[in-house]
Chains A and B, each alone.
Chain A
């Protein structure tokens, strides 16, 4: 849809589409593992629901109370890793860097919130597989949005 839209210079049509209709947003009832990345200072979190089938990410979704950077990165990242294997998913941080250009420190934290939630979901899968009872795995973030400027946040 957005491929045919001529946008003014600046924010890309793809970014705008992710803002208007984030992909893979919301709960995934069929998931078999759930991970949360939490920024305790700000209360911002991302939750990722993953459906793993062996090494393949059969399905994935996310939700967040974070900023629009987190929403766009979550939408792009989940779209990238869906139906790909874990090796591909693990290399996605690098791919996201290429996709977004150079990220500002604040955007990097938003991206890490998404990636960490996905990693937490894999940890949840590992824990459940070894017999642990764990509704979701929570990773607390070391860096916080609170300690970075927001001056570059328009670099969608």
Chain B
């Protein structure tokens, strides 16, 4: 594997690592900061991808990573720290790499700061598989429906982020570029929402790896038509879930997501013009 491809893969893995650490940790301040860092790591990935394409090479979404079921915050933070340290050795020495390195160093300092305060070392419940939502009274069937929805849609949002990013990196059309960016931003928000819900239920898991048959799009029109059908299906799932969940806050949330999917369809239609 070429060094740039290796850096890209490692950055992809690091983005997911920071993102899922953010989901796993309950402390709102740490969660929020790690989420911001994950977004920075995603932008690193985007810029690295651009450089790779400009150099006439290519990248893929292969990854080799496991999300270990950690029991406490310090285990999550230590594992993240180790991964950031290990990636430092493979960065090259150019403007982008130097920017990335300084971002990583700042994140490492933040992680050290967390580790210095033992009161931060709370229990991590994101992987306990208990499927309990402590402040909600949800029946088993509702929890089952929610569980399947979250697995289905967290994968789908991850898939959409990467597929849109792959196409965005390869278009010279400014309208398409802008639509892809909107769709990526929307999917980041959905993935964040669903990831945090999965953690709350104790079923946090990585979305499965994308196969190139999924993201190498040869026919944009067919992709968009299929994508609109998927958005329609997601709307139905949201509506069914909203009806099934006998909790006012959650029902409202899934209605809110449902209406967002409607707008995604409008955005996608612009890709066909």
Contact = CB atoms under 8 A, between A and B. Distances in A.
A47 B148 CA distance: 22
A8 B236 CA distance: 26
Interface residues of B, number: 26
Interface residues of A, number: 32
Interface in B194-218: 203, 205, 208-209, 211, 213-214
Interface of B is mostly: helix
Given A21-B205, A68-B148, A8 B211 contact: no
Contacts of A63: 208-209, 211, 213
B143 A10 contact: yes
Contacts of B155: 68
B231 interface: no
A68 B152 contact: yes
A128 interface: no
Given A10-B141, A68-B151, A154-B145, A22 B213 contact: no
B72 interface: no
A21 B222 CA distance: 31
A89 B129 CA distance: 31
A16 B211 contact: no
Interface in A5-62: 5, 7-11, 13, 16, 19-22, 25-27, 36, 42-43, 45, 47
Contacts of A100: none
B209 A25 contact: yes
Nearest to B127: A20
A153 interface: yes
Interface of A: 2, 5, 7-11, 13, 16, 19-22, 25-27, 36, 42-43, 45, 47, 63-65, 67-68, 71, 146, 150, 153-154, 156
A67 B153 CA distance: 9
Nearest to A63: B211
A104 to B, nearest CB: 13
B133 to A, nearest CB: 12
